[in-house]
A and B are shown apart, each in its own frame.
Chain A
Amino acid sequence: MASEAATETTRRDFLYVATGAVGAVGVGAAVWPLIDQMNPDASVRALASIEFDLAPVGVGESFTITWRGQPIFVRHRTEAEIAEARAVPMEDLKDPETDLERVVEGKEQWLIMIGICTHLGCVPLGQKPSDAKGEYNGWFCPCHGSHYDIAGRIRKGPAPKNLVLPPITFLSDTIVKVG
């Protein structure tokens, strides 16, 4: 009797499995909201984009604004700085990207990046004239010593990637939208 019951699929087996399956779905459905509530909420997601004017920023100057709670680095690069960024051979880069891939064509003087070190998230120094700029004349993250060049590319230290570029659109010659 017992061995018969074990080998044969009965209606009872089906009910067990079906009950178990419905139960698992039910538990999953109850748990998911409890986890998902921790994700960014609607008010945070609503801060999706900002616009600003580049006109007042002189050549060689930088400024920082906030987008989604994160600093955005804007730098008006000099001709010399652009030339310096372009001259770097690809083999020297940890995360190879040409300078042109990091700016908008025709607007190569404007470098716009998320100012968060790709290592563990500190804000690198280099926006203020008095800041340390690192060994590559760009930005320097003091937390664990990452050096970025004048195109925001990682050159030395523990950070794995270049500074991240936010999605940007030039609405006019000087008005930029981030997000």
Chain B
Amino acid sequence: MSGNSSYNPTGAVEKWFDERLPIIRFSKEHLMDFPTPKNINYWWTFGAVLAFILVVQIITGIVLAMHYVPNSELAFDSVEAIRRDVNYGRIIQATHAVGASMFFAAVYIHIFRGLYYGSYKAPREILWILGVLIFVLMMATAFMGYVLPWGQMSFWAATVITNIFAAIPIIGDPILALLRGGFAVDNATLNRFFSLHYLLPFILAAVVGLHIWALHVPGNNNPVGVEVKSSHDTLPFHPYFTMKDLFVIVVFLIPFSWFVFFAPDILGHPDNYIPADPLLTPPHIVPEWYFLPFYAILRAIDFDMLFISSKLGGVIFFGGSIIVLFFVPWLDGSKVRSGNFRPLFRPFYWLFVLNFLMLTYLGAQVAEGIYVLLSKVGTAYYFAYFLIILPIVSRIETPAPLPASISESVLGKAEASGEKG
């Protein structure tokens, strides 16, 4: 959305600069004056929280890389040395490790916000797809980061996850050798994961740039899902939303700091304080909490389907659970964006949220008895929600009447028309 610039370069130098590189104009348009719907609620602040954490991860990560040694003999001890010997290393390492968890907590809120308010619908499909891409890159980055301390969970997570690729027919085994650089996960694997773990966050930052670009073409969605109709519906981004976002970042830093200072390891697994042992699998492998729902889906497929083995089937469902997100803009056919006006959609949505939490719980349980059955039910609902419920509900439901404009939804009909008149 250009053309809302109020930038008037004052003085010869500023003018001269603006004609050659209008970066100040650009920043003013996009970071300060950008018209933002005045009714957006706190769920809209998590994009800013995410941007903040990305910066925190990059800064703390670069510092860790100054002390970390990517060698299978030394990696474990080097992380311990960071925590014990490096000045403030205990806090910096904890910030990075806890930061990964906080990153996922924020991204899940951000994604579920989009799913409820229909933020993926036209004209924001590309914005949504870039978001899903960011999510995939985050998972790859966090997975490779988790391997770096080279504890038992690091090693066995690397083994199990790289093995997923081996399930692909024909090209699976060559891909596995390429990923690991050996017949098993070893030093070569650790080295390349470090290289990629350093690289990916910067690619992530670039995709975030595209994500924000794609946001600034149509502008923000909002809780009623009605497009901005006039300047009465918006407020400039600065100071109204910069301050609101900053406030939420500060509040978000409270649990973040609590973990960093008082419970830096509570989100991790104790087995990762045992150095990696290629001959001994821990009795119960659990991924980090943020991968659990997808891990539960992977394990739920323990039966063959026609010519597809259980192993390949698990991998297909695991990959499919993410890939399906790319298609949500077209699976949901409702013209009404916001769940607030979709009475039939809402119970299914909340059931989906509960189901996702259940899968998170199940991913951490042993693959036996009732847990296996529940994982299957959860997996079935996960896919049914996207592939059956969204397409059908969006075509049969009668949405509640929408307000005529954002102002009307905030102020009520009479006042809004009075304001316009």
| A residues in contact (CB < 8 Å) with B | 35, 38-41, 44, 64, 66, 68-71, 115-116, 118-125, 141-145, 157-160
Within the complex, which residue of B185, B186, B279, B311 is in contact with A160, where a contact is CB–CB below 8 Å? B311
Bound-state CA distance A68–B160 (Å) is 18
Partner-binding segment picked from B60-68, B93-101, B174-182, B237-245: B174-182
Instruction: Determine whether the beta carbon of B159 is less than 8 Å from that of A41.
Output: no
Contact (Cβ within 8 A) B314 A158: yes
In the complex the two chains form, what is the Cα distance from A66 to B192 in whole Å? 23
Contact: A71 with B278, CB < 8 Å?
yes
In the bound assembly, the distance between CA atoms of A66 and B182 in angstroms comes to 14
Interface hit among B246-254, B281-289, B341-349, B398-406 = B281-289
Q: CB-CB contacts of B262-297 with A at 8 A, as 1s and 0s?
A: 000000000000000011110111000000000000
Give Cα A115 to B180, complex, Å.
18
Q: List 14 A-B contacts (CB under 8 A).
A: A38-B179, A40-B177, A40-B180, A44-B188, A69-B186, A118-B311, A120-B163, A121-B159, A142-B281, A142-B283, A143-B160, A145-B302, A158-B299, A158-B301
> Does chain A have a CB within 8 A of B46?
no
Q: How far is the CB of B391 from chain A (nearest CB, A)?
A: 31
Task: Name the distance in Å between A167's Cβ and chain B's nearest Cβ.
Answer: 13
Pair A44/B311 contact, Cβ less than 8 Å: no
Q: Which residue of B lies closest to A132 (CB)?
A: B283
- Interface magnitude class on chain B: 35 or more
Point out the residues of chain B lying under 8 angstroms from A124, CB to CB.
281
The listed residue (B163, B179, B181) touching A41 by CB distance below 8 A is B181
User: Please, which residues of chain B bring their CB within 8 A of the CB of A119?
Assistant: 163, 311
Contact A68 B184, CB 8 Å, known A158-B299, A158-B301 = yes
By beta carbon, the residue of chain A nearest B162 is A121
Asked if residues A70 and B183 are in contact (CB atoms below 8 Å), the reply is yes
B310 CB within 8 Å of chain A: yes
Q: How far is the CB of A48 from chain B (nearest CB, A)?
A: 10
Spell out B's residues near A (CB within 8 Å). 156, 159-160, 162-164, 166, 177-186, 188, 192, 278-281, 283-285, 299, 301-302, 304, 309-312, 314, 366-368
Contact A158/B311 with A40-B182, A144-B302 known, Cβ cut-off 8 Å: yes
Q: How far apart are the CA atoms of A143 and B271 in the complex, in Å?
A: 14
Q: How far is the CA of A115 from the CA of B280 in the complex (A)?
A: 10
Chain A residues within an 8 Å CB radius of B368:
145
B346 to nearest A CB, angstroms?
Answer: 35
Residue of A nearest to B368 (CB): A145
A35 touches B302 (CB 8 A): no
Closest-by-CB residue of B relative to A143 is B285
- Which residues of chain B are within 8 angstroms of A141 by Cβ–Cβ distance? 281
The residue of chain B having its C-beta at the shortest distance from the C-beta of A69 within the complex is B184
Complex Cα distance, B311 from A159, in Å, reads 6
| Chain B residue at smallest Cβ distance from A131 | B283
- Does A122 contact B177, Cβ atoms closer than 8 Å? no
- Expressed in whole angstroms, the Cα–Cα distance for A69 and B285 within the complex equals 20
A120-B163, A143-B285, A157-B302 known; A66 vs B183 contact (CB < 8 Å): no
Q: Is B183 within 8 A of A44, CB to CB?
A: yes
| Distance in Å: Cβ of B194 to nearest Cβ of chain A | 14
Select one of A70, A123, A144 contacting B367, CB under 8 A: A144
Q: How far is the CB of B188 from chain A (nearest CB, A)?
A: 7
Contact for A69 among B182, B192, B280, B283, CB less than 8 A: B182
The listed residue (B162, B163, B182, B304) touching A44 by CB distance below 8 A is B182
Cα–Cα, bound, A116→B147 (Å): 20
Q: Is the CB of B181 within 8 A of A39?
A: yes
CB neighbours (8 Å) of A71 from chain B are: 278-279
Closest B residue, CB atoms, query A160: B309
A residues in contact with B299, CB < 8 Å:
144, 158
- With A120-B160, A158-B302 known to touch, is A44 a contact of B284 (CB < 8 Å)? no
- Bound Cα distance A158, B164 (Å): 13
Are B163 and A121 in contact, with the CB atoms below 8 A? yes
For B160, the closest partner residue in chain A by CB is A120
Q: In the bound complex, how far is the Cα of B192 from the Cα of A144, in angstroms?
A: 27
- Output the residue of A39, A70, A124 with the most chain B CB within 10 A: A39
Partner of B183, one of A69, A118, A143, A157: A69
Closest 4 CB pairs of A and B: A69-B184, A121-B163, A68-B183, A160-B309
CA of A123 to CA of B309, assembled, Å:
20
State the CA gap A119–B315 with chains docked (Å).
Answer: 11
In the complex formed, the residue of B with least CB distance to A123 is B281
A1, B131: Cα distance in complex, Å:
49
- Residue from B160, B178, B279, B312 in contact with A66 in the complex, judged by beta carbons closer than 8 Å: B279
B376 to chain A minimum Cβ distance, whole angstroms, is: 12
CB-based contact A121/B160 at 8 Å: yes
Q: Known contacts A115-B279, A160-B311; can you find 4 more A-B pairs with CB under 8 A?
A: A122-B160, A125-B281, A145-B368, A160-B312
